[in-house]
Structure 1
Amino acid sequence: MDLEHARLVLRGEHGLAVDRGRIVREAVAVVLADLESRGDASILVRRLRGR
């Protein structure tokens, strides 16, 4: 899903009118929290390793 499509889905299906910058900031925060809590099992580590 590209960023603009995500923005439109958030607005249309969830009633959230947010800009692309906010989506990116929130997505980064979620990924970093996952890394902190799950470490080696985090989605970021798995994706960077190609799994």
Structure 2
Amino acid sequence: SGRERHDEKITVYVSAEELMDLEHARLVLRGEHGLAVDRGRIVREAVAVVLADLESRGDASILVRRLRGR
């Protein structure tokens, strides 16, 4: 089916606004970029990008800056 199998699961609670933003991103990816992906795929890719940024930029990473409120 072309789908990747995942063995682990986490539950993440988001606000209604965050869920709407995620759904909006899914629709933009589909409508403007021709990418029919589900919300789980978007979240996995976003996590991978943020973790790679943390690995390469450390204290200057977007994750550290956001968690520190900067």
Sort the TM-score into its range (normalised by shorter chain): over 0.9
Distance 1:14 1:41 in 2: 30
Q: Provide TM-score, normalisation by structure 1.
A: 0.97
1:5 to 24, 28, 32: 24
Deviation at residue 15 of structure 1 after TM alignment? 0.4
Aligned residues: 51
Distance 2:32 2:62 in 1: 25
Q: Report which of the two has the higher share of helix.
A: 1
Structure 2, unmatched stretches of 5+, are 1-19
Structure 1, unmatched stretches of 5+, are: none
**TM-score normalised to structure 2 length:** 0.71
List per-residue Cα deviations over 1:17-40 (Å, max 9, x = no partner): 000000000000000000000000
Bigger CA radius of gyration: 2
RMSD: 1.0
Runs of 4+ in 1 over 4 A off after TM superposition: none
